[in-house]
Amino acid sequence: MTTMCDSSSSASLSPSSSSTNLKIGIVGFGPFAQFLAKSIIKQGHTLKATSRTDYTDLCVSLDISFFRNVEAFLEAENDVVLICTSILSLSEVFKSMPFQCLKRPTLFVDVLSVKEYPKKFLLQVLPEESDLLCTHPMFGPESGNNGWKGLAFVFERVRIRNEATCSSFLQIFESEGCQMLEMSCEEHDKVAAKSQFLTHTIGRVLAEMKIESTPMNTKSFETLLKLKENTLKASLDLYSGLFLRNRFAIQELENLELAIQKLKQKLLDRMNEEQDILISPKNLVTNSQTTTMYSSSSSTSFSPSSPSTNLKIGIVGFGPFAQFLAKTIIKQGHTLRATSRTDYADLCVSLGVSFFRDVEAFLEAENDVVLICTSILSLSEVVKSMSFQCLKRHTLFVDVLSVKEYPKTFLLQVLPEESDVLCTHPMFGPESGKNGWKGLTFVFERVRIRNEATCSSFLQIFESEGCQMLEMSCEDHDKVAAKSQFLTHTIGRVLSEMRIESTPMNTKGFETLIQLKENTMKDSFDLYSGLFLQNRFAKQELENLELAIQKLKQKLLDRMKEEQDISAATL
């Protein structure tokens, strides 16, 4: 059973009682030990350290006594010995320790990221009279750089006879505002495999895929980039330790592989269902083989400083995304009309939008622009049913689909030759754009533009809101989107397949994965299927994801075999 310890509920840990200043010896003085030491010293405790690396100069600067000699360190009468070795070096370091040098019963505390293994090992090697407290601060130099308030500190009193020393040590963390969480080492490892190990695994899989920032990042993709960067700040040894020393980790790795296989099968099943509406990208009609990326200050073909004409814009498909766009477009003074298979008449009245149940009447309404906001998978059915002979003027057709080659090819095939075509992708939505569009990316290609005035006026809707205007070919868009947007949605849906949920000991990295899952699942499976079915580069990215997991798993299994070989050689 898990116990949340706070000042009102814990009988064994009383944070309101005065804490005794302790003499604490630290074994292993790497970055994490140094991080802890700075806060412990500020509380008035006396610190000593020993490590295989010579940290004498650093310890002098921190007012810590450094011992090169382990025997002298153990003879220094520490109240607490804080174990800050790596997971994989624990056995080697402690099997060689001369515990006979201890001059008093001592509280040994480990801060390893796994708990069953150090508990079992330390009970075997420590003197019987020594106390043992197994702990895991669920934070580090990155997540705890602004203080420890609200961050989880997990612990189990494995063998405690001197409660005063144990309580004084725990109050180091409680007094900093940590969420004190008492649970068994076994329960910790079960939860950690589902949160910490999985988070590190996703980060390292992304590193195996060599994902990088793109010109059209979404906010969610940027969280994955940050997760990758933070994960790689930890060594492969630490990650290997999370796998090799937590018996529940291999199951989570297998759960991840299974979730990807399930998701892939759902996509392949949907592909079979939708084969009749797929259009081969080999038939792509292109106006240019080059990609042009530009901002508002560097484009000669789009002049954001020129006055914008108020447009009559007709919207086809008036779901949540179209409604989101409409609110800002109306504020700019443009006239909006809408048609949709669902009756949005009442909503349109409240927004100041004219709603047309009859599509022919909608097309006859002399729109300057027809903005296509259907789903990816319904584009063909909706547009093919339109009577374009009802158009009374040359019209600019604009799509906002999340894939670009497919609508470009399709619209060039079915629209009247005299109609202009602008393919666009606003790289934001109701969640990421709820506080305005400034700095958010708007991607577009002028596929067939003869009326530059109307095209420029439409583009200025987004430029005037502060969007980053990015012109590129539909082909290049889809290449980049497969590596960013599709991958982001895939990770989110894989996490949903795994049914990840918040735990009592979330890390900040794991919380970003939970948020990614929740944001992804706000979008329909139809949208996700469209990102796969109508982007010819998406399948390769799905295969890259599978391959990255296989490579990472093989590295872990190779490391496991190395350890087994070493163990066999020492018998």
Sheet holding 420-426, edge to edge: 354-356, 335-339, 312-316, 369-372, 396-399, 420-426, 441-448, 468-471
Q: Verify that 128 and 106 share a domain, yes or no.
A: yes
Q: How far are the Cα atoms of 105, 115, 279, 499, 538 from residue 272, in angstroms, in the given order?
A: 69, 47, 14, 26, 16
Closest to 104 measured CA to CA, from 85, 121, 81, 125 = 81
* pLDDT tens digits in sequence order for the chain, 571 residues long: 444 444 333 334 444 344 689 999 999 999 999 999 999 999 999 999 999 999 999 999 999 999 999 999 999 999 999 999 999 999 999 998 999 999 999 999 999 999 999 999 999 999 999 999 999 999 989 888 899 999 999 999 999 999 999 999 999 999 999 999 999 999 999 999 999 999 999 999 999 999 999 999 988 999 999 999 999 998 999 999 999 999 999 999 999 999 999 999 999 999 988 775 444 444 344 333 333 333 333 333 444 444 558 999 999 999 999 999 999 999 999 999 999 999 999 999 999 999 999 999 999 999 999 999 999 999 999 999 999 999 988 999 999 999 999 999 999 999 999 999 999 999 999 988 999 999 999 999 999 999 999 999 999 999 999 999 999 999 999 999 999 999 999 999 999 999 999 999 998 899 999 999 999 999 999 999 999 999 999 999 999 999 999 999 999 999 999 988 776 776 5
Identify the pLDDT of residue 289. Answer: 35
87 and 249 in contact (C-beta within 8 Å)? Answer: no
Does 188 reside within a domain? no
Number of C-beta neighbours around residue 480 at 10 A: 20
Find tokens 């009859």 and name the residue: 358
Domain endpoint, select from 183, 218, 247: 183
Domain endpoint, select from 183, 201, 221: 183
Q: Verify that 451 and 564 share a domain, yes or no.
A: no
Q: Verify that 376 and 508 share a domain, yes or no.
A: no
**DSSP per residue, 193-254:** IIIIIHHHHHHHHHHHTT----TT--HHHHHHHHHHHHHTTS-HHHHHHHHHT-TTHHHHHH
Q: Verify that 351 and 310 share a domain, yes or no.
A: yes
Q: Verify that 205 and 328 share a domain, yes or no.
A: no
Q: What is the pTM of this model?
A: 0.86
**DSSP per residue, 481-522:** HIIIIIHHHHHHHHHHHTT----TT--HHHHHHHHHHHHHTT
- How large is the C-alpha radius of gyration of the chain? 30
Q: Does residue 148 sit in helix, strand or coil? A: coil
Closest to 480 measured CA to CA, from 439, 519, 443 = 443
H or E element in which residue 9 lies: none
The domain that contains 405 carries what CATH number? 3.40.50.720
Does 118 reside within a domain? yes
Domain endpoint, select from 472, 489, 507: 472
Identify the pLDDT of residue 483. Answer: 95
Q: Verify that 360 and 409 share a domain, yes or no.
A: yes
Q: Verify that 86 and 39 share a domain, yes or no.
A: yes
Domains in the chain: how many in total?
A: 3
Does 264 reside within a domain? yes
Q: b/e string for 27-53 if b means 16 or more Cβ within 10 A?
A: bbbbebbbbbbebbeeeebbbbbbbee
Q: Verify that 297 and 251 share a domain, yes or no.
A: no
Q: Verify that 392 and 491 share a domain, yes or no.
A: no
Q: Verify that 389 and 461 share a domain, yes or no.
A: yes
Identify the pLDDT of residue 17. Answer: 43
Q: Verify that 386 and 515 share a domain, yes or no.
A: no
Identify the pLDDT of residue 277. Answer: 46
Q: Which domain holds residue 225?
A: 193-273+481-570
Does 279 reside within a domain? no
Identify the pLDDT of residue 374. Answer: 96
DSSP state of 450: S
Q: Verify that 373 and 335 share a domain, yes or no.
A: yes
Identify the pLDDT of residue 145. Answer: 87
